[in-house]
Chain A
Amino acid sequence: MEIRQHEKEPVELKDDRVFTWPNLVVKEFLAAILVTIGLLFYSFYVDAPLSELSDPAHAENPAKAPWYFAGLQEQLVYFDPWYAGVVLPSIIVVGLILLPFLDNNPKGNGYFTFRERKFAIVVFISGYVFWYLLIYVGTALRGPFWTFFWPWQEWTHSFPTPAPLHNLPLPLGIALSIGFYTVGLVFPLFIKKGILFRNLGIIRYAITMGLLLTMIGTAGKMILRLVFNIKYVIATPWINI
């Protein structure tokens, strides 16, 4: 019964603090109730999809991954499956894990600010938007045979044959890729007297720019494909990019 011995002891609040009960707990309970009501209401009116019994002999056309992976599936248009489905998501995960160790800007720790960390926010938001953009295209704008349809177009099976694709000659492709990464690494050294490099130090800078350039390169390859009908930038018997 130790608790009762201290019954009269006052409990004081520290300066910027409030009691968790009820200040926080009330909001949590309220949120839980609202979420439950929302889910039940939605579930009452909208049925979860259930299509026909699975049949290995009859492929769905288009066969779509769940929406949160549809962005990766969309990348299959531009890259081989080993990149779109395995290496790209792995790079994203590794990049996310490394993020706190790459971003050594001491400002903006624990409060919302854009001004004090413009570079980090622009890069992260670009990636975030890129991811959802791909998801939108993959889920909403891809019809039979993964053909592109605008929202106002009807999905049909009669669409014009896509233009033939070609590869870049290997030397050109390699030169282009090396050039891209080299210019990408060197260019920021001349912006604002290379402040990015000076802030990050060589290791963080190399990893950060490597990840960022890979993100930009992924988008760049999409443009090459869409505008110039280029299938592979680097085509070898072992691996194609």
Chain B
Amino acid sequence: MEIPDLKKKLMDSVNEIWKTVFRHGFKDTPRNRALIIISNVWLHLHPAQVREHGTKIRFTWCMGGITFFVFLFELVTGILLMFYYTPDVNKAYADMADLMFVVPYGRLLRNSHRWAAHAMVITVSVHMLRVFLSGSYKVPRQFNWVVGVLLLLITFLLSFTGYLLPWDQLGYWAITVGMNMGRATPFLGYEGPFSHLLGVTINNDVRFALIGGTTIGAPALLRAYVWHCIAIPLIAAALMMVHFWRIRKDGGISGRL
């Protein structure tokens, strides 16, 4: 057999195998460019074609995308941290110290999880600013803005619930500040205005529900942990699904008509 023949045979079989995985050939043709997007479960979040200005950093500032990516980064580092962390008042702080001083790459893991959390709060705020300034919340995207506001709230709550987990002075008193506000909720907090009208006391108000007791102790740590690692990420993921789906249903990235 001639060498070029062999090469062609080889490429053909590679292409066959490639197609079983990706459902399209690897030649760079317009058709394959489209198929790369629409035949891939992850990439087909995108349409196969987008309006050109939507790919420009000067339009989106890339902030929604980066917020999403930082969220994924938090999922990965967060799952790894869960291997080492116990939500127990007698262990949590020691686990943190272990991460910082004993666990290989533990310090990098914890640091990057913390800084990425701050980064997400910043990028989501900047994303909101971009969407506001480009008027992208106007018809027909009003509802996606509302979903966005909920995501903004969720981002704050994700970060806030994580703050208590190291069980150090910093987190403990920060959550105390927060809960002192919670107990002042009108009607629903035991120190809030008009709470006596509903018979609200220290052991049945919102603060009690949030921290599972009248002081910040073991139940508060467990609740923060469950909210932080399970409940809020699930809510966030669900809202993001709606958010991304709506971007497409609302006609793709906004722009001059």
Q: Which residues of A contact B (CB under 8 A)?
A: 3, 7, 9-14, 16-25, 27-28, 31-32, 35-36, 39-40, 42-44, 46-56, 58-60, 63-69, 72-73, 80-82, 84-87, 93, 96-97, 99-101, 103, 105-113, 117, 121, 124, 128, 238-239
- Say yes or no: is B85 at the interface (Cβ < 8 Å to chain A): no
CA distance A14 to B30 in the complex (A): 12
Residue of A3, A53, A103, A128 near B138 (CB, 8 A) is A103
Let me know if A86 and B134 touch, CB within 8 A.
no
Write 11 A-B pairs (CB below 8 A) sorted by A numbering. Answer: A9-B31, A11-B30, A12-B30, A13-B30, A14-B49, A31-B66, A47-B107, A48-B114, A54-B171, A54-B173, A97-B146
Contact A109 B139 (CB under 8 A): yes
- A82 x B186 contact (CB < 8 A): yes
Contacts of B180 in A (CB 8 A): 81, 85
Inter-chain CA distance A24–B49, complex, in Å, is 9
Neighbour of B70 across the interface among A3, A10, A35, A99, CB < 8 A = A35
The yes or no answer to B203 lying at the interface (CB within 8 A) is no
Complex Cα–Cα for A53 and B115 (A): 21
- Tell me if A100 and B193 are in contact (CB < 8 A): no
Q: In the complex, how many angstroms separate the beta carbon of A167 from the nearest chain B beta carbon?
A: 16
Q: Report the Cα distance A142→B55, complex, angstroms.
A: 43
Known A-B contacts A13-B30, A54-B171; the reply to A18 vs B55 at CB < 8 A is yes
Chain B residues near A238: list those with CB within 8 A: 193-194
Cβ of A80: which chain B residues have Cβ within 8 Å of it? Answer: 184
Contact A239 B169 (CB under 8 A): no
In the complex the two chains form, what is the Cα distance from A87 to B184 in whole Å? 10
Q: Give complex CA distance A141, B52 in Å.
A: 45
The residues of B with any CB-CB pair to A shorter than 8 Å are 23-24, 30-31, 33-37, 39, 43, 46-55, 57, 62, 65-66, 69-70, 73, 93, 96-97, 100, 107-108, 110-116, 118-119, 121, 129, 132-139, 141-142, 145-146, 149, 152-153, 156, 159-160, 163, 166-174, 176-178, 180-186, 189, 191-194, 215-216, 254-257
B129 with A128: CB separation less than 8 A: yes
The minimal Cβ–Cβ distance linking A102 to chain B, given in whole angstroms, is 10
In the assembled complex, the CB of A91 is this many whole angstroms from the nearest CB of chain B, namely 12
Which B residue's beta carbon lies closest to that of A67?
Answer: B118
Q: How many A-B residue pairs have CB under 8 A?
A: 242
- A73 contacts B177, CB within 8 Å? yes
Give the most central of A10, A14, A68, A108: most B CB within 10 Å: A68
A191 to B107: give the CA distance in the assembly, Å.
59
Shortest beta-carbon distance from B240 to chain A in Å: 15
- When chains A and B are docked, how far (Å) is the Cα of A82 from the Cα of B195? 11
Chain B minimum-CB-distance residue to A47: B111
CB of B36, distance to nearest CB on chain A (Å): 4
**Knowing A20-B37, A53-B93 touch, does A66 contact B174 (C-beta < 8 A)?**
yes
Q: A68 and B52: CB pair below 8 A?
A: no
What residues of B have a CB within 8 angstroms of the CB of A64 in the complex? Answer: 173-174, 177
Bound: A45/B184 CA distance, A? 40
Q: Smallest CB–CB gap between A81 and chain B, Å?
A: 4
Given contacts A11-B31, A51-B170, contact A39 B184 (CB under 8 A): no
Q: How far is the CA of A231 from the CA of B176 in the complex (A)?
A: 24
Is A20's CB under 8 angstroms from B49's CB?
yes
Quick one: which of A23, A40, A85, A121 contacts B50, CB cutoff 8 A?
A23
Is the pair A19, B48 in contact by a Cβ cutoff of 8 Å? Answer: yes
Nearest CB in chain B to that of A44: its residue: B108
Residues of B within 8 A of A9 (CB): 31
User: A47, A73, A110: which contacts B100 (Cβ < 8 A)?
Assistant: A47
Q: Which residues of B contact A40 (CB under 8 A)?
A: 108, 112
Chain B: minimal CB distance from A186 (Å): 28
B133 near A20 (CB under 8 angstroms)? no
A20: B residues at CB distance < 8 A:
37, 43, 46-50, 55
A68 touches B149 (CB 8 A): no
Contact present for A16 and B112 (CB under 8 Å): no
Contact residues in B for A101 (Cβ distance below 8 Å):
142
A193–B2 Cα distance when bound, in Å, is 87
B residues near A3, Cβ cutoff 8 Å:
23-24, 35, 39
